[in-house]
Amino acid sequence: DQQVKQNSPSLSVQEGRISILNCDYTNSMFDYFLWYKKYPAEGPTFLISISSIKDKNEDGRFTVFLNKSAKHLSLHIVPSQPGDSAVYFCAASASSGTYKYIFGTGTRLKVLA
């Protein structure tokens, strides 16, 4: 049972345009969400987080939106840069006890110069 789903395995975007990466979850107990970026041969790097008390969090070019009723979150990257090309994972956790993060399967973003 995949509790966190990233239904787009890959995405290509032109440099300078907006990249939108989507993530859906099924467990209504999840109330904390993270996005990680992963380059080949490296571990995932934390990008941005959002808790369920917010519907938007912004950090520079990265904005995460949370729609609790739809159990959907998205990561917007504006403007996209070639260095953003990587695999992006969303992860979700319930803020009770162990923060056991459930990861999606990832979306490979390719930003074309």
Partner 1 sequence: ETGVTQSPTHLIKTRGQQVTLRCSSQSGHNTVSWYQQALGQGPQFIFQYYREEENGRGNFPPRFSGLQFPNYSSELNVNALELDDSALYLCASSPGQGIEGYTFGSGTRLTVV
The binding site for partner 1 (CB under 8 A) comprises 4, 6, 32, 34, 36, 41-46, 49, 89, 91, 93, 95, 97-106
Give, in degrees to the nearest 5, the angle at Cα 81 between 50 and 38. Answer: 55
Residue 75 or 91: the one with the smaller Cβ distance to partner 1 is: 91
| DSSP symbols for 47-69 | EEEEETT-SEEEETTEEEEEETT
**At its nearest, how many Å lie between partner 1 and the CB of residue 113?**
26
Residue 14 or 45: the one with the smaller Cβ distance to partner 1 is: 45
**At its nearest, how many Å lie between partner 1 and the CB of residue 44?**
5
Residue 26 or 95: the one with the smaller Cβ distance to partner 1 is: 95
76 class by beta-carbon count within 10 Å (0-12 exposed, 13-18 middle, 19+ buried): middle
